Structure 1
């Protein structure tokens, strides 16, 4: 059987990107999200139903979901921190929710004011409530490839977290390189181990480009069987609870790189670049994208005028 040369990219700029930017008016958010939806994404992380005081940039989550276009073939996803957030997500009729979890206690205390496994105990009522509505619920593991406070996360720790997710009935897990500490070798090591232990799980990668290694890490993940990736148009994003956590890998860089390798993304790269350029104009100091700087490989240029050939 031929290898699957296709991936699914979930656009997360409306959540991960917007939460790291100055507060954007709701109408502008709706305009940007509708432009993103026109690029062909099949899944979009629209927002996070966190307390407005914690992340004021996303305080209008309910209104945004009420006003954006909602194509029938697009899955709208949101992060939820607790039961209150889940109820808001249910009311807003999102298609999928994802719970937030840190791999280490140090990051978890900063992110959720709770140690990792204590935080997981709070997920049981969320799973129960989600099942009552037939809403799909997935999980995440932040700082899975390295914590800025504790360093490399032991494999045993990641395995135990996955076991506890399995006990909860959550088998779709996002592995996040929250502060860009991963490298291709560590990505392969983590993914090969967790996929070996949990073959029925669907793992995805959420990569930050803090140290310029995100695309190499994405390719390493693809080599290990990952077919689901998160990215953010323009490279916007960053964890507010992690020091020096620059943005996600830009969607245009990820799409362009994989398409050049012959791996289909089913996305319109030119429309994505248009949206990225618009965001760059609005927030130039937050943009981080190689394609916005250099253009696509296929963007050829006229040779400099007045060149004299060698030997003439």
Structure 2
């Protein structure tokens, strides 16, 4: 297998993980989780979003969180925005990186933003210009590139058209986001191999939801294709409120555990990350969807059986 020596794991639990939860975390709780992530070694944290509080009330205090956050050197703190108004909110509260979002699915784009993808692309340039005028970095995201509940398949040319619009606006970091959890490994490998060949100037980030249990397999396919940046969510929380049946993101704990077991460096302390995941579950009041939080690490279950005491016929 052609696996990388090191990957970067971007934590999206505070935004994508919390945006569908009934429990709205306070600014204090969010700051506590951010500090726990920093202490664990996470170096890219998606703090929240600057979307309409009426549409996503769980993100209404993102401005307050940024104002109170003491941003550590070497850690990237970003937030999702939908338009120029969101960029201005980011500027006003001290957010230094924003992520634009668009869906490659017409149906999803209408459900989420009440706009067609072609209309949404027109907002890229003014949003980027405002951000850059205030020293705010910009990345982009493409949702539903592998399919959606509204479209059985998404033409790769539609994805490329969006990438072209991002590049025209000066955005070269792009997240490929499987919000409905429909991607399959062969599809991921093919698309990411193709996109990297066509756009070598871009950094691609993969973002998978585990709706149908394919999240970790898709991450492995992404690694095989040469991708080294992946999103994860504490405790496997999350889901898009505009996608029917959407489940949580791939658990950050699961990603780091898998990498640790295969000798792939992440720079993240798994034990501290697990503590942060359990804290997340305590805040939301129910278990998340993290295999590691349920079953523990591989090392946790290795038994020290004295010689001569392990003869169990049921295990033969």
The interval holding the TM-score normalised by the smaller chain is over 0.9
Is the alpha carbon distance of 1:133 and 1:309 closer, same or farther for their aligned partners in structure 2, counting shifts above 3 Å?
Answer: closer
**8 Å Cα contact 1:99/1:139 also seen in 2:** yes
Q: Deviations over 1:117-143 (max 9, x none)?
A: 111101211111122123211111001
Q: Which residue of 2 aligns with 1:106?
A: 107
CA-CA distance at 1:3 after TM superposition:
7.5
Give TM-score scaled by structure 1 length. Answer: 0.94
> CA RMSD of the aligned region, Å?
1.9
CA-CA distance at 1:307 after TM superposition:
6.0
The residue matched to 1:204 in structure 2 has which SS?
A: strand
CA-CA distance at 1:286 after TM superposition:
5.1
Q: Which residue of 1 aligns with 2:123?
A: 122
CA-CA distance at 1:25 after TM superposition:
2.1
- Aligned equivalents of 1:294 and 1:64: distance in 2? 32
Q: Which residue of 2 aligns with 1:27?
A: 28
- Does 1:210 pair with 2:211? yes
- Aligned equivalents of 1:251 and 1:52: distance in 2? 26
Q: Deviations over 1:18-40 (max 9, x none)?
A: 21212122222222222222111
Q: Deviations over 1:257-294 (max 9, x none)?
A: 11211110000000000111122233354500111111
Q: Which residue of 2 aligns with 1:270?
A: 271
- Aligned equivalents of 2:97 and 2:287: distance in 1? 28
Q: Which residue of 1 aligns with 2:186?
A: 185
Moved more, 72-81 or 60-69: 60-69
Q: Which residue of 2 aligns with 1:137?
A: 138
Moved more, 275-284 or 192-201: 275-284
Superposed, 1:19-58 pairs within 5 Å as: 19-21=19-21, 22-58=23-59
Q: Which residue of 1 aligns with 2:71?
A: 70
- Aligned equivalents of 2:282 and 2:88: distance in 1? 36
**8 Å Cα contact 1:15/1:45 also seen in 2:** yes
**8 Å Cα contact 1:103/1:153 also seen in 2:** yes
CA-CA distance at 1:76 after TM superposition:
0.6
- Aligned equivalents of 2:103 and 2:243: distance in 1? 11
**8 Å Cα contact 2:181/2:208 also seen in 1:** yes
Instruction: Give the count of matched residue pairs.
Output: 309
**8 Å Cα contact 1:7/1:228 also seen in 2:** yes
Moved more, 53-62 or 129-138: 129-138
Q: Which residue of 1 aligns with 2:147?
A: 146
Q: Which residue of 1 aligns with 2:15?
A: 15
The residue matched to 1:147 in structure 2 has which SS?
A: coil
Q: Deviations over 1:100-127 (max 9, x none)?
A: 1000111100011000011110121111
Q: Which residue of 1 aligns with 2:303?
A: 301
**8 Å Cα contact 2:4/2:226 also seen in 1:** no
Give TM-score scaled by structure 2 length. Answer: 0.93
Q: Deviations over 1:66-104 (max 9, x none)?
A: 223421111110111111110111122222111010001
- Aligned equivalents of 2:165 and 2:128: distance in 1? 13
Q: Which residue of 1 aligns with 2:6?
A: 6
**8 Å Cα contact 1:34/1:69 also seen in 2:** no
Q: Structure 1 unaligned runs (5+)?
A: none
Q: Which residue of 2 aligns with 1:157?
A: 158
- Does 1:235 pair with 2:236? yes
CA-CA distance at 1:188 after TM superposition:
0.6
CA-CA distance at 1:199 after TM superposition:
1.2
Q: Structure 2 unaligned runs (5+)?
A: none
- Aligned equivalents of 1:185 and 1:15: distance in 2? 28
- Aligned equivalents of 2:265 and 2:311: distance in 1? 41
- Aligned equivalents of 2:182 and 2:95: distance in 1? 32
